[in-house]
Structures are given as structure tokens and as C-alpha cells.
Amino acid sequence: MTTAAVPKVFIILVNWNGWKDTTECLRSLEELDYANYSVIVVDNGSTDRSVEEIERRYPDITLLKNDENRGFAGGNNTGIEYALDRDTDYAWLLNNDTVVDRQALSHLVDRMEENPGIGICGSRLIYYHQRDTTQAWGGGRFNKWIGTIRSFGQNKPVDLKPNRQAVEKKLDYVVGASMLVSRRFIDRVGLLSEEYFLYYEEIDWAMRGEGQFSLGFAPGSMVYHKEGASTGGQQMQQAVRSKQSDYYQLKNRLKFTYKFFPAYLPGVYLSVIYAMINRMRRGQWNRIPMIAKLMFTFNT
């Protein structure tokens, strides 16, 4: 197959004060076996020396610079718009704190080419620092009653082979750490919503495309993820999540529910109150006023 016959993919990495992670990811992308891709790095208003370090190590890379931190959606949208202007077929949204297997992109494209009805396809995510443990099989489900999400396959052994059809049948969202998105999906559904800043953007995207596109999973696409590196979260340790991460997780739980499932808001409010009680038990008293305030201001 010639390069011209292979769908064009733009790979989008968003960097925010994380050039060491970004350059490690870029090194792994150099080993991809896919024949027709370009890489975009979007710097999201970094305040360290990220721009200089990335330009020094990768002088030929396309580096787009946002003047401020526009969050997950805003950063990726900068890259998506650039890719659309250059007639891309797909955009691979990839967290900068990942390292990819050389066949990761090929498997994603193959799955979407097999089924053009798929709008977003996810990878098999594996914990970078615990390579025998799964983070997610592509994505997961949303619990409307309490407003939380649960990834399929989380903490399962890597050797356990997922059933692709079973996973795809139940997917409510694709994990944002690795999402291959078709141009058809973006043209019809639009860009990522920038109202969240961090978390819930990917399930918002999936909800907006519901009934028009399905969600896919490519088990052969393996991506190793340093979960939480860019937000202060810790792998599989909810108790020590950073204050910023905690804020956006809880705020957007309410915001997303209000937008798509308003009838379920009472239960979600109760889940946030329960989260507040848990912070008290942990002695995280400085978070209590923050949580109490966002319960009344989440939609502003």
C-alpha cells in the first residue's frame, strides 16, 4: 500500500509544563510503523522552559503556542483545527505523558477503517509505572445516578485479553489519553467542549455524537500512560489527588449531569456531599469550602 492510499493522521500532544514527558512521548512516536502521519505539539501556555526544550530537541516539529492554559479541550482544539485545515482524515488525541507501542496507531486506524460508523476509537491503556496492570480497555461507562465514570478493565492483568465486541457494546466514552477521532465525526459533531477545562470532555463529546456514531476499541493498540502526571493525580490513589484535580472532577460531575441528565442531579449532589465527608475524614479541611462553593456555582 502506498503512503497516498493510507489515511492521513495528525497526532496531537498538548504540553503544559511537561516537556520531559512530551519529548519521551515524541521519541516513541518516531518508532511507529504507520506510514502517513504528522505530529503537532500544542503548548498550553507553559511557564517553565517547555517551548525552548521542545524546539531544541525537535526543531522540525510543528509546535503551536497558546498564550494561556486552555485546558484539555482548548489545547486539543488548537491542534484539531490545524489538522482540519490540512485535510486530515483522522486526529489522534494523545496525552503527552504516554509512551506508545510501535503498532498503536496502525491498530486504531485499522479498526476505524473496518467500521466507518465509529467516530472515536480507544486504545488498550496500560500503567506506565506498572506494566503488568491495565488502566482501561478503551473507555468505560457513566453512572447517571452518581455522575461518576468507570473504566473497563481497570487494574486487570495485562495478560487478560479483552473481548472487543463486548467492550464496544457497552462503551459510553473513550478515555482521553488516547482517542483516534475521524474527520467525519468532527465535521458533524464539532470540536471538544471547552466549558469543562479538565475532565468529562471526552464523555461530553461521545454524548453529542450519540445516535450518529459508535465508539470503538482497538485491543492491539497499546499505550503506556503515566496517569495524572499533568494534573497532580496519583495512579490508582484517589485519596491523594491534587486539589486542582479534585476540584474539576467534582465540579464537572455536576456540570455534565446538569447538561445531559438533569433529572439525576439530586443523586449526584448526594454523591458530592459524600465526597466532602470523605475529605473531612482524610483531614483535607482546606477542600471543604471549595467543594461547598462549587455545589452552587458549578455552572458559572
Distant-in-sequence, close-in-space partners of 207: CB < 8 Å, separation ≥ 6: 260
Predicted confidence at residue 227, as pLDDT, reads 78
Over range 16-27, report the average pLDDT: 97
Assess whether pLDDT exceeds 60 at residue 300.
yes
The rounded distance, in Å, linking the Cα atoms of 18 and 8 is: 27
CA angle 29, 35, 37 (to 5 degrees): 55
Predicted confidence at residue 45, as pLDDT, reads 96
- Sketch out the chain's domains with CATH numbers: 3-225 (3.90.550.60), 238-297 (no CATH)
Over range 266-280, report the average pLDDT: 95
Over range 184-194, report the average pLDDT: 98
Over range 66-86, report the average pLDDT: 97
Assess whether pLDDT exceeds 60 at residue 1.
no
Predicted confidence at residue 5, as pLDDT, reads 84
Assess whether pLDDT exceeds 70 at residue 239.
no
Predicted confidence at residue 159, as pLDDT, reads 96
Predicted confidence at residue 241, as pLDDT, reads 64
Strand partners, 216: 121
Q: Which of 180, 209, 177, 182 is CA-nearest to residue 193?
A: 209
Assess whether pLDDT exceeds 60 at residue 56.
yes
The rounded distance, in Å, linking the Cα atoms of 125 and 266 is: 33
Predicted confidence at residue 231, as pLDDT, reads 43
Q: Which of 66, 51, 73, 58 is CA-nearest to residue 25?
A: 58
Across the chain, mean pLDDT equals: 93
Assess whether pLDDT exceeds 50 at residue 85.
yes
Over range 111-115, report the average pLDDT: 98
Q: Count the alpha carbons within 13 Å of 124 in the hemisphere toward its beta carbon.
A: 26
Is 140 within 8 Å of 172 (Cβ atoms)? Answer: yes
Assess whether pLDDT exceeds 70 at residue 275.
yes
> What are 78-83's contacts with CB under 8 Å, separation 24+?
78/42, 79/10, 79/12, 79/13, 79/14, 79/40, 79/42, 80/12, 80/181, 80/186, 80/191, 80/192, 81/191, 82/10, 82/40, 83/10, 83/12, 83/40
Q: What is the pTM of this model?
A: 0.92
HEC assignment per residue over the chain: CCHHHCCCEEEEEEECCCHHHHHHHHHHHCCCCCCCEEEEEEEECCCCCHHHHHHHHCCCCEEEEECCCCHHHHHHHHHHHHHHCCCCCEEEEECCCEEECCCHHHHHHHHHHHCCCEEEEEEEEEECCCCCEEEEECEEEEECCCCEEEECCCCCECCCCCCHHHHHHHCCEECCCEEEEEHHHHHHHCCCCCCCCCCCHHHHHHHHCCCCCEEEEEEEEEEEECCCCCCCCCCCCHHHCCHHHHHHHHHHHHHHHHHHCHHHHHHHHHHHHHHHHHHHHCCCHHHHHHHHHHHHHCCC
| 232 band by pLDDT with thresholds 50, 70 and 90 | very low
Over range 230-258, report the average pLDDT: 72
Instruction: Using a pLDDT cut of 90, give the percent of the chain over it.
Output: 91
Predicted confidence at residue 190, as pLDDT, reads 98
Is 112 within 8 Å of 92 (Cβ atoms)? Answer: no
Predicted confidence at residue 229, as pLDDT, reads 45
Over range 108-133, report the average pLDDT: 97
Question: pLDDT tens-digit profile of 151-178?
Answer: 999 999 999 999 999 999 999 999 999 9
